[in-house]
Amino acid sequence: MTTPTIELKPSASPLSDAEREAILASPGFGRHFTDHMVTIKWTEGRGWHEGQLVPYAPIPLDPATNVLHYAQEIFEGLKAYRRPDGSVATFRPDQNALRFQRSARRLAMPELPVETFIEACDALVRQDQAWVPAHGGEESLYLRPFMIATEVGLGVKPANEYLFIVIASPAGAYFPGGVKPVSIWLSEDRVRAVPGGMGDAKTGGNYAASLLAQAEAAAKGCDQVCYLDAVEHQWVEELGGMNLYFVYGNKIVTPTLTGSILEGVTRDSLLTVARDLGYEAEEGRVSIDQWQRDAENGTLTEVFACGTAAVITPVGTVKRTGAEWTHGDGQPGATTTRLRTALLDIQRGTAEDTHGWMHQL
Ligand code: COI
């Protein structure tokens, strides 16, 4: 695999300091984008080439571009944090780079070298570092690397040309309500992914597949949909865009990776952070009947969702056909809060990075 260098073409018209500061004061999630982006091309026979750091701009696509028809697309999400000394670091970018390679393999796309993935993210954050929000708050700079098939033509086959892009977006809390508990609709008929499918790849198709059930969840007054396995329709898998954890007193449990669940970097990190804090942390199978029963008998003390965008978000009310129950009292539970604080302290640079997770720019 070749590793291209990234050539800088600075933006002639970046946003003014005042415009940028106004956005950073209340960024929301995924609504504003920084001044630049990184692009790298891949062509069969030539490999990766033309690495560029260019002004953020639309990408013109021929209407017959392969990705528009057959959805050969993968993406990642990771965050850059402002540290107390004003410097900037990203969280476990190597894990995102490796998952990007796994997703690429699943969708028959070329694998970007790990060091190129990290250098592309670094180059963008270095150039647009004024966009990294101030230290200490909920805000960070969310990076969205992605790759699309750019060959023009309607034949169904792996494309012979691809475009890798990294864009960045200042981000506050993913849910408009902040870190307040979210409500969940348990979808017992629609599934997100099937055994042997693409559930463990981070590809847009999985998110498209989640939208109808998400809309049904919204119609039932819920913030998120929770998917069950596609065979027995009873084992909890994940939400539309984040993993789940169940708290049983001093033990936390997250659904075992079955191939149809996304291997979340936050999910993985929490297994370690929880053990560091003295919790038992394990992967296991949790059925919806067990979820309901253990909530009702009080052994299941808290439930939370986790992901790069969502960080750790408590789950409050859960609804399924014919039943409804609520975890907690409307506030994040003690374990959820403790894990959230411990993880964010590492990410923001206020706790020692004992696992070498932070990548300082
Ligand atoms: C992330 O957490 O980074 C994701 O890609 C999930 C999406 C719901 C924003």
* DSSP string covering 179-240: TSPEEEEEESS--S--TTSSTTS--HHHHHHHHHHHHHHHHTT-SEEEEE-TTTS-BEEEES
Could you tell me if the ipTM is greater than 0.90? yes
Question: Of all protein residues, whose CA lies closest to atom 3 belonging to ligand 1?
Answer: 77
Q: Is the CB of 309 inside a 6 Å radius of any atom of ligand 1?
A: yes
Q: Is 170 in the pocket of ligand 1 (CB under 6 A)?
A: no
The angle at the Cα of 275, spanning 274 to 279, to the nearest 5 degrees, equals 70
Q: Model confidence over 206-257: pLDDT tens digits? A: 999 999 999 999 999 999 999 999 999 999 999 988 999 999 999 999 999 9
Helices 334-348 and 265-276 cross at an angle (nearest 10°) of: 110
Buried b (16+ CB within 10 A) or exposed e, 85-104: eeebbbbbbbbbbbbbbebb
What is residue 254's three-state secondary structure? strand
90 lines ligand 1 (CB under 6 A): no
Q: In ligand 1, which atom is closest to the CA atom of 29?
A: 9
**264 in ligand 1 pocket by Cβ < 6 Å?**
no
For residue 7, what pLDDT is reported?
84
Kindly report, residue by residue over 65-100, the tens digit of the pLDDT: 999 999 999 999 999 999 999 999 999 999 999 999
103 lines ligand 1 (CB under 6 A): no
* Paired tokens of 247: 């708290």
Q: How far is the CA of 332 from the centre of ligand 1 (A)?
A: 21
pLDDT at 68: 98
The partner residues of 144 in beta bridges, in order of sequence, read 167
Specify the pLDDT at position 119. 97
Nearest alpha-carbon partner for 134 in 10, 27, 4, 270 = 27
- Residue 257 has a pLDDT of 96
Question: Is the Cβ atom of 241 under 6 angstroms away from ligand 1?
Answer: yes
Query: How many angstroms does the Cα of residue 216 sit away from the middle of ligand 1?
Result: 20
Low-confidence ranges of the chain (pLDDT < 70): 1-3, 178
Write down the pLDDT at residue 2.
Answer: 57
One-letter amino acid of 76: E
Q: State the pTM of this model.
A: 0.95
Per-residue confidence (pLDDT) for residue 310, from 0 to 100: 87
Ligand 1 atom closest to the CA of 310, numbered from 1: 2
- Index of the ligand 1 atom closest to the CA of residue 202: 5
Torsion sign across C-alpha atoms 148, 151, 157, 162: negative
Q: Which atom of ligand 1 is nearest to the CA of 266?
A: 2
Running DSSP on this structure, what letter comes out for residue 130? G
